[in-house]
Amino acid sequence: MDPHEVRRKNFPAPDEFPFFSGVAFWYDSGRYEDALDSTLARVEELGWRQMQADARAEGRSVGIGYSFHVEPSAYGPSRILNLVGLQHSGFDEAVVRIDPMGKVTVYSGQINMGQGTHTIYCQIAADGLGVPIDDVKVVTGDTDSCPYTGYGTGGSRAAPLGGGAIIRATVRLKEKILRIAAELMEASPEDLVIDSGIISVKGSPDQNVSMQDIGDAAYRRLNERLPVNETPTLEETDVYDPENMATSFGCAALLVEVDRETGVVKLLDFVQTDDCGTVINPMLVDGQLAGGFTQAFGGALFEELVYDDEGQLQTTSFMDYLIPTAMEIPRFEVIHQETPSPHVPGGIKGVGESGTIAGVSLVGSAIDDALSDIGVTVKRFPMTPMRLLDLIREAENGEVSQ
């Protein structure tokens, strides 16, 4: 049976979600078949199959591999994490504060390690409040001023959970802003809109107040400006403990060429349809994925700690431990598909590991395909040239590869 048929038979249909995993959590939402179809269509468009046929006609071994992945992200409901034995929880806390000048500061327990967390938090807060992104500042890493996190930065939780807490805080804060603006303009909060930090009456944009006016009314000149039932200051804290995890997914395809005389595998081209729910920032998602792909190809082909028979580590420097460079990786193409999470605010899912998951089996299946005429099945990684040459020779001599 065609491997894609096996995949199709096993995919839950979009209306079967949330789909119980059998243990502790649900696959929250998915359009798995769409992701597969999108990748297959792109492979067709790129002409890989023709390239493969042409290469074969010239006696070269070109193969196409596929790998479908699901990334459980947004770890996770605190009580379930405890239930499965973890000694930590899974909530995330955010504080969103607007100062008397109407500028916004987000405090989070998350840490940015290069993923662009600050950028997406600015986007989320600006979007949630309706203020310019330049008016938002993010503070992390200061344990005196920042709130707690149930777990920290890992399990692809910074965007869905840290971000989810910010969204929920901004929802309440925005309501307060509108109530104060309504008081200032003698209007009803339902009739107001915020755009680029200006709160105006729907349909009559000339009737407006600024975020600075709101800050002034909440912190300084309260009398007859801040509604009487309203607490001074503009600050919301949100602790978000999700009811479920969020499952990102995707389908990757890889074009490789195997040199049968050397066992060297060359990565020629790469496509992944990736679905991490709402894409907050496509460039940052691409960046997370590109790093993941590269790391996965390192695991598939290069990175290894080698011990000798006496247990001595032979891999002692970065001349021995080979991390792929720009020269070893193919072009990366990401097709974004968006199936929002039904339970996470904003529909956000995580993407921190979606790049690495597929890579190793992807390389394996592409090599298998390149060598399908002699029947090689790659089962061990990294698949170094020496190991692959052994497999090729065994297969050519009619031995069964192990």
Partner 1 sequence: MPVLAEALRHVGHVTIRNRGTIGGSLAHADPAAELPVALLALDGKVVVQGSAGTRAIGAGDLFVGPMTTALEPTEILTSVRIPRPDAGTGASIVELARRHGDFAIVIAMALVHLDGNGRCDMVRIALGGVEGAPARMEAAESGLLGAEPSGAAIEAAADAVAAGVDPIGDIHASESYRRDMTRVFVKRALAQAVERAKGGVA
Footprint of partner 1 on this chain (CB under 8 A)? Answer: 261-262, 264, 302, 306, 314-315, 319-320, 322, 324-325, 327-328, 384-386, 389
Cβ closest to partner 1, residue 15 vs residue 308: 308
Token pair of 372, please?
A: 């399908």
Alpha helices in 18-145 (DSSP H): 32-46, 48-57, 78-83, 117-129
Cβ closest to partner 1, residue 90 vs residue 324: 324
Q: How far is the CB of 299 from partner 1 (least distance, A)?
A: 14
Is 35:275 a contact under the CB 8 Å cutoff?
Answer: yes
| Distances 360 to 99, 292, 300, 302, 332 between C-alpha atoms, Å | 49, 11, 5, 11, 16
Q: How far is the CB of 268 from partner 1 (least distance, A)?
A: 15
Distance (Å, rounded) from C-alpha 252 to C-alpha 5? 16
Cβ closest to partner 1, residue 289 vs residue 388: 388
Q: How far is the CB of 328 from partner 1 (least distance, A)?
A: 5
Is 26:18 a contact under the CB 8 Å cutoff?
Answer: yes
Q: How far is the CB of 96 from partner 1 (least distance, A)?
A: 45
Token pair of 79, please?
A: 């009580």
- Residue 123's contacts (CB-CB under 8 Å, 6 or more residues apart) are 133, 280, 281
Cβ closest to partner 1, residue 33 vs residue 328: 328
Q: How far is the CB of 291 from partner 1 (least distance, A)?
A: 18
The string of DSSP codes covering 365-396 is HHHHHHTTTTT----SSS--HHHHHHHHHHHH
Cβ closest to partner 1, residue 134 vs residue 320: 320
The string of DSSP codes covering 126-138 is HHHHT--GGGEEE
What pairing do the DSSP bridges indicate for beta strands 204-210 and 234-240?
unpaired
Q: How far is the CB of 315 from partner 1 (least distance, A)?
A: 7
Token pair of 197, please?
A: 């930090």
What are the two backbone dihedrals, phi and then psi, of residue 79, each rounded to the nearest 5 degrees?
-70, -30
Pick from 100, 38, 46, 35: nearest CA to 70: 35
Q: How far is the CB of 386 from partner 1 (least distance, A)?
A: 5
Q: How far is the CB of 257 from partner 1 (least distance, A)?
A: 15
Cβ closest to partner 1, residue 83 vs residue 323: 323
Cβ closest to partner 1, residue 58 vs residue 144: 58
| Distances 88 to 26, 145, 238 between C-alpha atoms, Å | 20, 21, 19
Cβ closest to partner 1, residue 339 vs residue 384: 384
Distance (Å, rounded) from C-alpha 121 to C-alpha 346? 12
Cβ closest to partner 1, residue 61 vs residue 89: 61
Q: How far is the CB of 53 from partner 1 (least distance, A)?
A: 25
